[in-house]
Structure 1
């Protein structure tokens, strides 16, 4: 039997090439009957690399995505657009205007709040000061580098009074001054992702002044009135290379700063078979079938993440939403999906995000048709709600002649019937119909944001309205 690959000679030389008989007392055993042949070894190596490469992608994508995004979010353009929340490392960045179609940093951005971002490298504890917002809705999410939402600060979780919260890095054992609220985190870099509610059409000057009252500084500099943040940046990730395996290189680099959680050590140990370990990623010793399996895994990995909507999402009346965004557990596909197009998504107690891309007949929503949504009443929330349309292709807001990017509880002139019901018209062509929400001309999807949803939403008693085609 000729050996096509030198790396097979050792394996085949030591293999016992025999065919075992099928079990006489049970079902046939495929492994007992499988010869240790060149073909089976080649196919097995590819299958093993594919399976483990697929798991590595779905498990590790959030970490790679966060490392990439944090480098993007700390690169501040000049001039900085009003919708940008970017800021240098260890500093707070605020958007000073609501997102529009030109705001490209964040896919599926809302048009309800001013966004805040801060990438923090915790070489010591950092103190986040939040001002009194006088019951105005705000929230600051504290994400680990695995896109795990570890803490909430804001109206629902901590109230709207002023406070000082300390981001405590892993392994720190010092003493905090009294009056500070410790928030322990699991990674040495964290992402603060905030939202500050804006009423449609309100004067933004007071909000800009309120934004300036949020501050972030090292614990050692808390009482230093002359503190100026030093200029720092994150080292670049490894280049992707031209062999199609760049994702694994970047994952290995990210793992050196973000150790594997104890609960994932068993899974991570399997990746050593294709060269990924705590020491890095070494593809030099991989056989060609292994490399091919890894490349196929990177092609199919995004599909596995997207498939999480079928297994982890609630589906009611054509709307779909995921729960558990602040407690993924071992649902790695859902975590990967959220880390991608829905980076920064919150748990259902804070906000719920029902979305849909089809009408009542199951057809793709398209600007080629007109639709209506009949609400029996305003969605039951303790903060506010909004309905937004996005381009299906780029997940961005939609340009339109009246610069209306959402309808919601704060929309001026929203026409509501005497019984509290109202109808929303969706179409691309301009219309005088009440409550028109412009859509793109092509495929689109909708998100109904429910901030601080009440129990009637969470337990399913509130019936989400259908999207009906206008005849």
Structure 2
């Protein structure tokens, strides 16, 4: 029997029930659309399509971080040969370090900073905990974030939270009940894989050799090999994710694949149960029973999902003096659109106490920042932070750093030759061409086309967190 014939039969049966059921005045209300809606085949088909769209859209916004993290786990453990100095890729269960600051050629990470050397490690905890040892960094800023596979930032290890003395930290998977040796800090995580994402401060112009030696002091070993200094994790390749080429519903197949090794969080069980109506369950994604309108609705949901994520900048963000930023990047709660946005173009973002990331794409007139114009950024004083700050420009299209003739990819607390006035104020020319005048030393190069900027504030002080610090204005000029 065809789907439409089945719907017609259902409609006829429903109509007969309605015809014999009592109908009271209390039920007869012009405002209640459901009470007056015929159970026709047409309405049922439209309802299935609408339900597929709504459920599919929610599934994308909820599930994208898991898919993204599983993709990243495979990408960041696929080490190129030769490995670029800006790359932090490493095999599974090994630490990878960048040995050079990011440049426009570094394409792994959108919105990469030009302040720190990145660390990355994809850790499989399926057999036992792993021990991360960190060396004494002598108060040098560093942080290692522990992300689960849902892009939840579960733990910070670093200057702000655990200090900069040497230490050992155990990454403990769900359900592990063993004992840890004395002196090891236990960090329980919610998934059997985690992603370690670290940053090590580099001041402009300082030699890299001592930093590379410091990097070697960060080690990662399974608990059973904790004291084996010669241990090197055996090669491990993660199972391939489903190929989505040419498959407009491929995302749902990848989500179903990711759920095989990442249990639905208990607090999301009821939400996940709704997705069975379009074929997504713990057993996988079965699209064999979908009508064409349902398929079309799911495809449309996947196109609109990214827009819902981007809208989180408005619904979850704060705007002040033209700058936008969001709080709670280490505690998303039920803000699924925000979690998806961060997992995408802002992967690895941290909570506001560790770092704040005010973002701006418009000038003081509300117009898009564009390299065809010239701007000046006026700081009343340097941002108040306990670590350091920087201002970075990115192409609007690909979210990458800007190539420029002086190879300056950011301006910050360590910029050599930065001209600051006697009262602590300073101005930053923001334009594509080299400026003239007294503030030329403060030039921050911009691209030829649309761009945006991020003001990074590492370990911001209370003046920033409370909103009492006046973020700088960006004014166009000729």
TM-score over 0.5 for the pair = yes
Question: Unmatched 5+ residue regions in structure 2?
Answer: none
Q: Structure 1 155/5 Cα, relative in aligned 2: closer, same or farther at 3 Å? A: same
Which of 455, 458, 461 pairs up with 2:465?
A: 458
> What is the deviation of 1:229?
1.3
1:220 counterpart residue number: 224
Structure 2 CA distance for aligned equivalents of residues 107 and 159 of structure 1: 28
2:93 counterpart residue number: 90
The normalised TM-score by structure 1 is 0.97
Question: Unmatched 5+ residue regions in structure 1?
Answer: none
Structure 2 CA distance for aligned equivalents of residues 242 and 100 of structure 1: 33
Matched, 1:435 2:435: no
Structure 2 CA distance for aligned equivalents of residues 50 and 26 of structure 1: 29
1:137 counterpart residue number: 141
> What is the deviation of 1:8?
2.6
1:380 counterpart residue number: 384
After superposition, what is the alpha-carbon deviation per residue over 1:218-259, rounded to whole angstroms, capped at 9, x for unaligned? 000111233221010100101115341100000011011110
Which of 189, 192, 203 pairs up with 1:185?
A: 189
Which of 278, 281, 284 pairs up with 1:274?
A: 278
Structure 2 CA distance for aligned equivalents of residues 4 and 184 of structure 1: 49
Once the two structures are overlaid, the 10-residue window that deviates more, 385-394 or 283-292, is: 283-292
TM superposition outliers: structure 1 runs of 4+ over 4 Å? 17-27
1:244 counterpart residue number: 248
Q: Structure 1 268/236 Cα, relative in aligned 2: closer, same or farther at 3 Å? A: same
Matched, 1:292 2:296: yes
Contact 1:21 1:33 in 2 (8 A): no
After superposition, what is the alpha-carbon deviation per residue over 1:356-384, rounded to whole angstroms, capped at 9, x for unaligned? 00000000000000000110110000000
After superposition, what is the alpha-carbon deviation per residue over 1:242-294, rounded to whole angstroms, capped at 9, x for unaligned? 34110000001101111011111111010010111111110011122221111
Structure 1 CA distance for aligned equivalents of residues 39 and 120 of structure 2: 55
1:71 counterpart residue number: 74
Once the two structures are overlaid, the 10-residue window that deviates more, 237-246 or 122-131, is: 237-246
> What is the deviation of 1:412?
0.4
Contact 1:7 1:287 in 2 (8 A): no
Q: How does 1:23-38 map to 2 (within 5 A)?
A: 26-38=29-41
Contact 1:170 1:186 in 2 (8 A): yes
Which of 146, 168, 172 pairs up with 2:172?
A: 168
Structure 1 CA distance for aligned equivalents of residues 285 and 226 of structure 2: 40
Cα RMSD, aligned residues only: 1.6
> What is the deviation of 1:354?
0.2
Structure 1 CA distance for aligned equivalents of residues 98 and 431 of structure 2: 29
Q: How does 1:12-31 map to 2 (within 5 A)?
A: 12-16=11-15, 26-31=29-34
2:208 counterpart residue number: 204
1:355 counterpart residue number: 359
Secondary structure of the 2:203 match is: coil
Contact 1:426 1:436 in 2 (8 A): yes
> What is the deviation of 1:26?
4.8
Matched, 1:401 2:405: yes
Structure 1 CA distance for aligned equivalents of residues 457 and 374 of structure 2: 24
